A and B are shown apart, each in its own frame.
Chain A
Amino acid sequence: MRRSMLFLPGNNPNMLINAGCLGADAVIFDLEDAVSPAEKDAARLLVRNTMRYMDLDGCEIVVRINSVDTDFWRKDLDTVIPCKPDVILLPKSAEPADIRLVDEYISDLEEKLELQKGGVQIMPLIETAMGVENAFAIASSCKRVCALFLGAEDLTADLQCKRTKEGREIEYARQRLVVAARAAGVDVYDTPFTDVNDDEGIVQDARLAKALGFTGKASISPRHVDVINEVFSPTLAEIEYAYEVVEAIRVAKEMGKGAVSLRGKMIDAPIVARAERTIAMAKALGLDRTEV
């Protein structure tokens, strides 16, 4: 279960050592924008050691490496892959070739290090117009891709428009990414909300992302993590409905009925699949049915 992802600057020991305590389902150790070129070497080792020595309390680890048009990304991977991060976040993913390049490089490392093949996933960060246009091809470019991630700050610069709180300028990109990711059968994550002092704004923005179909949302502040987790968790009503769906299916099967309806609506395969996902998530959150 990955609802919230929290960015942490890769060269800041004070932030990294507390990564497991900040409430996020996943933390993103950032080797890219948060680290100056002269400190890339230091950040790599700090991030590697954090993974090697710290127990992050079950928090998933994502590493944002530098993009494939830099001299840094191979060394980034050389340094972090031995510690088996869960996900590599690849910035400026613009076309399937970018993903395949990284995929091959990781595969070579896995082989050399005798690691489980395909154990590390890739999350392309879509933050250019080209990336948005190629979203489906990117999402289905290789088996390692687990989700698409929308980066609105760089994208709006590329689109030559202003990034606003309301986000009209990224409406298309958001919807395009959700459709592309779902079509490819992977998850999709929304861009961070950057005003850390706007407590109402983050709620609105997270609700919008959930309504559009995003799996979860990234954040640059631990202040937003709680809100994101809450918005992207199933509500009690949703859980209750999911159990009703599963129960209706069970009863129908017993009675040998083909078509099933609940609350006056036909239940088809996608509804059942969604109900099962909701129940799985509720269980992961420790929400017992008796509490519902």
Chain B
Amino acid sequence: MNKLVNSIREAIALSGLQDGMTVSFHHHLRNGDHVLNMVMHEIAELGIRDLTVNASSLFDVHMPLVDHIQNGVVSHVLADYISAGLGKAFSAGIMEKPVQFRTHGGRPCDIASGKTPIDVAFIAAPTSDTMGNCSGKYGKSACGSLGYAFADAMYAKRVVVITDNLVPYPLADFSIAENYVDYVVQVDAIGDPRGIVSGTTKITRDPVGLVMAQYAAKVIDASGLLKDGFSFQTGAGGASLAAAKFLKDIMLKKEIQGSFGLGGITGYMVDMLKAGCFKTLLDVQCFDLGAVESIRTNPAHREISALQYASPGSKSAAVDSLDVVILGATEIDTDFNVNVHTDSQGCIMGGSGGHSDTAAGAKLSMIIAPMFRARLPIVTDRVTCISTPGKDVDVLVTQGGIAVNPAKTELKNRLIDAGLPVIDIAELKEKTERITGKPQKLTHGDRIVAEVISRNGDILDKIYSVS
């Protein structure tokens, strides 16, 4: 049997892709990805039209997608996250059908259940053997975990692996197994390593970020959850990383041995693993070289699929065992609803990713955000877009005080007892507006450009065009 085909175009032809079908991509190569653009270019050349693109995330490197939409090659987009440059185009209304935003858990759930079937999955693989056993841990384009690609591989009707490091059969340390793979294509480069992973992520020097990070670590310390067996997830943002650093100091001082670190993994989480703060890292995505190196060499650092990470349809998911998650926000309202989809002008510039999955699963979900960014207060009466519902958000940490969800009275009392500056969220809003002034309300356009689908499948909110 020979799965190896000579070109992406040949693989597309063999896959039987036709007008109106769905293709899928993962985003482990992030802003260094070449595969989506290469594949979509060939599809356009073949004259196939009216496709649905189901991508776990889209980055600005994928700007050519705008042309494919305008030329009718793509008519619908599903994604968990869309970065600002591309988001601006969607917000301007380039596509007739609204974008469907899911969460990192909701996407594989709907793929597995058949709600969003995939006809052909194109899987960028930093290393693959000739039968399609593939991995992200090796090769010049190494990205570490391939967590978001598993559901695509398992449930798509046809699966094409695209690699720039073809190795003889069998690749021993594979992530995705050959039994899912139809075709393998070798190309010169699946991506640009500079855009795939960052170098060493450094702790923020921003004074406000550091103050918030210190509060965040103290909130965790006071929450009652920081004891042996503790589990933790944090983002790759400056303040979140600094919080992990301060948390590590507390854990080492108190000799607390946690159970696992989860999520997108950075070198900081790897340091915590090495220092004995965790027994295991469960890694759905690597953010930097330190994480890639660790997942390749340390057996305690495990790759997990997005299904295991966060799918509400799985028999269990790691987020359900999570104690604490630190998350960001572009806006949060006085009901604790959080927006991570749009910027201050209402333009798409992000998405839930694992935000709502971890917020729903974790015992303590904490938002870290400054009181205001470029004069715009973080706390509003109503967020422009609900990405994560307020019922799943427990505490907001800002440099000007810590607001606790009123439903969490025990947590609130613990923080007050620890001497932390607890403040009512409405009061925090007023305090901020005394500094910034009260912003005038934005008006939005009348077209719906995106729908935000909650992890349960309901439409949580709609995003309107920018006027």
Contacts and interface: CB of A to CB of B under 8 A. Distances in A.
B217 to A, nearest CB: 10
Contacts of A221: 205, 207
B211 A222 contact: yes
A20 B325 CA distance: 28
Nearest to A21: B399
Contacts of B399: 18, 21-22
B261 to A, nearest CB: 21
A278 to B, nearest CB: 19
Given A196-B205, A199-B249, A286-B419, A22 B211 contact: yes
A222 B419 contact: no
Contacts of B207: 15, 18, 22, 221-222
Contacts of A222: 207, 210-211
A199 B250 CA distance: 13
A23 B211 contact: yes
B211 A21 contact: yes
Nearest to B213: A223
Interface residues of A, number: 15
A17 B435 contact: yes
Contacts of A54: 435
A21 B208 contact: yes
Contact of A21 (B205, B400, B419, B434): B400
A17 B208 CA distance: 10
Contact of A226 (B208, B214, B371): B214
A247 interface: no
Q: Max chain B CB contacts within 10 Å: which of A15, A17, A22, A222?
A: A222
B219 to A, nearest CB: 15
A31 B399 CA distance: 25
A223 B249 CA distance: 13
A158 interface: no
A286 B421 CA distance: 13
Best-buried of A15, A18, A196 by chain B (most CB within 10 Å):
A18
A221 B242 CA distance: 14
A53 to B, nearest CB: 9
Interface string B32-59: 0000000000000000000000000000
A33 interface: no
A18 B419 contact: no
Contacts of B419: 286
Q: Which of A199, A223, A286 has the most CB of B within 10 A?
A: A223
B422 to A, nearest CB: 14
Interface of B: 205, 207-208, 210-211, 214, 249, 371, 399-400, 419, 434-435
Interface of A: 15, 17-18, 21-23, 54-55, 196, 199, 221-223, 226, 286
29 contacts: A15-B207, A17-B435, A18-B207, A18-B208, A18-B399, A21-B208, A21-B211, A21-B371, A21-B399, A21-B400, A22-B207, A22-B208, A22-B211, A22-B399, A23-B211, A23-B214, A54-B435, A55-B434, A55-B435, A196-B205, A199-B249, A221-B205, A221-B207, A222-B207, A222-B210, A222-B211, A223-B210, A226-B214, A286-B419
Name the 4 nearest CB pairs between A and B, nearest first. A21-B399, A222-B207, A18-B208, A222-B210
